[in-house]
Structure 1
Amino acid sequence: MLDAEVRELMQPFVLSDYQVQEVYSRFCLEVARGLKRSTHPQANVKCFPTYVQDLPTGDEMGKYLALDLGGTNFRVLLVSLKGHHDATVDSQIYAVPKDLMVGPGVDLFDHIAGCLAKFVEKHDMKTAYLPLGFTFSFPCVQLGLKEGILVRWTKGFDCAGVEGEDVGRMLHEAIQRRGDADIAVVAILNDTTGTLMSCAHRNADCRVGVIVGTGCNACYVEDVENVDLLRADFKKTKRSVIVNAEWGAFGEGGQLDFVRTEYDREVDEKSLNRSEQLFEKMTAGMYLGNLVRLVLLRALERKLIFKQSSRRPEFASVLQRNEEVFETRYISEIEDDSFPEFASTRKIVKNLFGLEKASVEDCQTLRYICECVAKRAATLVAIGVSGLVNRTSNRRVIVGMDGSVYRYHPKFDAYMRQTLQKLVKADKEWDIMLSEDGSGRGAALVAAVASKTK
């Protein structure tokens, strides 16, 4: 049985029906503000048009390159589209060295271009013309399909000379400097657009794309007349456009203050981008482990966990020394563990603290802490998804999902569905679909659709 004091400790993470409804209303208001030119500058859900207006039909053919940059690694993919909703993907992961994440932007793009050249050579395609879809998962203002201006770096990147610049042009110039591959950057998109496109390739009803991984963001299909920022010439021929919500910044205007905890405030205060991306800091893999770490410190202080151990001060110092010591993946492993053996949980505790065999009670307490942090994250994501599903003009809506937190947490999907059932309008039919290789395959599909349109 869980200690009443443990429940009390975690109470700030448990959202009431009133709080859920209130966050939902505030989110919907922010989306509406982000779409309107007059209120866009003040809105913190920016709703940038992506200029992707055609969803895949499933009949696309040909070979396309995709580049997916969104964290400490990036992927290069060769996607062969074969029609009949069929595709094969060959990919390779490359690291972004720590110094390049905070060095000059030109160095970062030269590194990427070098890896692209190696990849193309490995696949004997140095002489082939290869259209490339570039998944760039940072807040961008799109001025066209292949023009994306970086608004600001997130996720630990801070390369000089890139904010305010067109990242498509910077990649193109880095490829040209090398001159050893015929690669054309034909589209820039973020990982959510890739997820939506990838799922739409398999299910034509997909209208929302969501990533819950290192970061957290979503996009959805909106009617062109509602998107004030979309250039007028793009409204004449097509009825809809994918909108990149950039919802990670939701809350920067104080909208989430009534549900943020002392732990959220501490995570924010010690982050590189203080006072920014507040919704993301409550939902994304980059921060969830740190939230659990801070709660664990408080639990140790109040003698709510490892009560029998005289080494509690030692455990606390382990947690204090390193903000990243409690990895987000531990949350998934602990919630997936079996009772009463708790083999994975005990292994994690042993690795962290050197404690040979944590008691069943300690394991249950740790699991409850993880559950409350993860469930709140899933509830918040589902609130945002509900708002986007309710905005789309389709009666039937598939939500394409990707990202390590969603993919590997055993209950994230179930937690989300509980909230979606409460908030999605009764006349909508909806379901969630796991994206296969979303941001990679999706980028190739955008490149294919863009090449076809030309």
Structure 2
Amino acid sequence: MGPVGQHSDKRAVRSVTACWHDPAPSKCFATSNDNCSILAFSKKTIYSRERNGNNQNKLHIRQEKEFHIRATEGINIMACTMLRPEHAHSWLDNAIRVAPLRLSDSWRKQQVEAALCKVQLTGAKVLRIKEVFHSEMERGIHQQPSSLQMENTYIPELPDGTEEGLFLALDLGGTNFRVILLELANGVVIRQHVKHYHIGEELRLGCGERLFDFLAECVSDFVRSQNLNGTRLPLGFTFSFPMIQKGLDVGILLTWTKSFNCPSVVGRDAVQMLREAINRRGDSHVEVLAVLNDTAGTLIQGAVLDKRTAIGLILGTGSNACYMERADRVQHWEGQRHGEKQVIIDIEWGAFGDNGVLDFIKTDYDRKVDDNSLITNSFTFEKYISGKYLGEIVRVVLVKLVEDCVLFGGTASDTLLTSGAFTTSLVSLIEQDTVDNSCDNTSEILNKLGLSYDADDIAVVKFVCETVSNRAALLVSICTAVLLERLDRPDTTIAVDGSLYTYHPRLKSWMNKYIRLLAPGKKFRLLLAEDGSGKGAGLVAAIAVRLKQRFSET
């Protein structure tokens, strides 16, 4: 699209009206009714105002460099407004607001909206979160104090189509541990076998050495079942917990998350512990070549599906993101460099805000959820957005509304009062009702929870689920928009995996809307890249084999 003076729709330029100031480019917003049209401009663009005959402000733009107007596809430009910050905030408020609550009782409506108002993010808070996330990324990448770890994964390249052979992948991140055999040809998985092993609570919360012995036992059982005891098998280990990586095959466990807490092995190398456990058994020829988390695996798997992939997101029980960073920006690099041009950076954004930088959006509901969590005062961002916690946030809000006598006649069932009883899967089902303009799922859920309800109660429950879900989608989108701006590529694919993204009926559409809003002019797409934690780990093991051969030849 050319400069404004050459724009095909000159009426759009003539209609530009302004509540004007001299804005910084990063804080420029424009509107087209309730839709987003984006103004991107040079710092040297000169602005002037004058009154026309209708006593309206007109903004006339004289260019020294370049000025673009891009309208959201399919939207006619009615009016574009360059906004002061306070007007930008107001416009954003409207753009991100959930559908209004409609109740027959106006008093109940007012009480519910008052109880939910702090859960709904304002435009001012959205912009502040964006600035804070960018700042925390910069501090983290430069090894300054930050809630974002910005960990170097030492994965310097993506699959190139030459990967072939048999590889093992281990996937540890939840109560089900997976061992996977992958056969690769031309960089594509042509055959795979998977076996699941349940990890009981006594292992997840007990001695860490016993946990790794169990993992080695599962590997041995799987290799034996595939008749591969005498075969050398390169292995990629998806270890979906925060770690400090000192190499592709060195990952120091920082802390456990989700339902795991084995304190005795915090601070130790996960790869070394797995190797030692496998060696103690001595019944398989497995070589652990790489450790990664599920987010990096998702990016790798996405790159196989679409070479434009440069961001990986996990939106499931937990949440995290990674992206391709320029190697010259990365200060933390143990060992010798080999001319790498890029590397995957694991952001560990679940901990975003653990240092207090997000306290301005924390509600009493969030504090209660945190107080009842396995590890308090940690993984702040994850507790706003992940599948493990969204249902619990909804439950806590519903209980508060019952206590205020504006829901279920002021009477809660024992089930509703039980922590963890309202899962995120229920939130997704209720949100499906909103999509379908139905109440069937909501009614069935409330019946199973043992609650007495009327039509207004159903509307309130749907409103709470929408509000909490929308906040999660918006928070993810804010941070993803920052990543797109940091990459500054002409076209980027974002690989996403996780149960929340897969099963929540509205998350993807909200994310598409909000990312476009917050990263104007950045071309992107969301790509479902399933099983990055499995296939991705095998592919990284194949990359590790290639790198090992290359380095041995130099």
Q: TM-score, normalised by structure 1?
A: 0.93
Match status 1:24 vs 2:130: yes
Question: What pairs up with 1:87-236 in 2 under 5 angstroms?
Answer: 87-231=190-334, 233-234=336-337, 236=338
**1:300 maps to which residue?**
402
Give the aligned CA root-mean-square deviation in angstroms: 1.6
Shift of 1:397: 1.0
User: Are the aligned partners of 2:164 and 2:187 in contact in 1 as well (CA < 8 Å)?
Assistant: no
For residue 416 of structure 2, the aligned residue among 314, 319, 322 is: 319
Cα–Cα, structure 1 residues 314 and 46, in superposed 2: closer, same or farther, change >3 Å? closer
1:73 shift after superposition: 1.6
- Which of 346, 355, 361 is residue 443 of structure 2 equivalent to? 346
Checking the alignment, whether the CA contact within 8 Å between 1:292 and 1:369 is kept in structure 2 is yes
Distance 1:301 1:88 in 2: 55
Q: Which runs of 5+ in 2 are unaligned?
A: 1-101, 104-108, 549-554
Contact 1:58 1:86 in 2 (8 A): no
Q: CA deviation at 1:70?
A: 0.8
Check conservation: 2:402, 2:412, Cα contact below 8 A.
Answer: no
Paired amino acid for 2:525 = D
- Work out which structure has the larger RCO, using CA pairs closer than 8 Å and 6 or more positions apart in sequence: 1
User: Helix, strand or coil: the match of 2:312?
Assistant: strand
* Pairing of 1:240-255 with structure 2 (within 5 A): 240-255=342-357
Say which SS state the counterpart of residue 55 (structure 1) adopts: coil
Shift of 1:58: 3.2
Question: Map of 1:237-386 to 2, 5 A cutoff?
Answer: 237-307=339-409, 312-315=410-413, 317-320=414-417, 322-337=418-433, 341-353=438-450, 355=452, 358-386=453-481
Answer whether contact 1:208 1:398 (CA < 8 A) is retained.
yes
Change (3 A) 1:84 1:49: closer
Is the alpha carbon distance of 1:12 and 1:81 closer, same or farther for their aligned partners in structure 2, counting shifts above 3 Å? same
Instruction: Decide which structure has the larger Cα Rg and report it.
Output: 2
- 1:272 alignment partner, SS class: coil
Q: Which residue of structure 2 lines up, in the alignment, with residue 401 of structure 1?
A: 496
Count of residues in correspondence between the two structures: 441
- What SS class does the counterpart of residue 279 from structure 1 fall into? helix
Deviation at 1:314, TM superposition (A): 4.5
Measure the CA separation in 1 of the matches of 2:113 and 2:183.
52
Aligned equivalents of 2:257, 2:530: Cα separation in 1 = 25
**Alpha-carbon deviations, 1:84-125, whole Å to 9, x = none?**
645333212211100111111110011111111111222222
Q: Distance in 2 between matches of 1:395 and 1:331?
A: 36
Other structure's SS at 1:184 match: strand
Q: How far apart are residue 343 of structure 1 and its match?
A: 2.1
Q: Which amino acid aligns with 2:235?
A: L
CA contact (8 A) 2:408 2:451 kept: no
Q: Which residue is equivalent to 2:33?
A: none
Query: Following TM superposition, by how much is the alpha carbon of 1:378 offset from its aligned partner in structure 2, in angstroms?
Result: 1.0
Structure 2 counterpart of 1:379, one-letter code: L
CA distance in 2, matches of 1:401, 1:88: 22
- Structure 1, unpaired ranges of 5+: none
- Percent identity, aligned pairs only, is 39
Q: TM-score when scaled to structure 2?
A: 0.77
Change (3 A) 1:393 1:232: farther
Deviation of 1:346 after TM superposition, in Å, equals 1.7
User: Matched residue of 2:259: which SS?
Assistant: coil
Q: Secondary structure at the match of 2:380?
A: coil
User: After superposition, what is the alpha-carbon deviation per residue over 1:164-206, rounded to whole angstroms, capped at 9, x for unaligned?
Assistant: 1000000111111111111111100001000000000111111
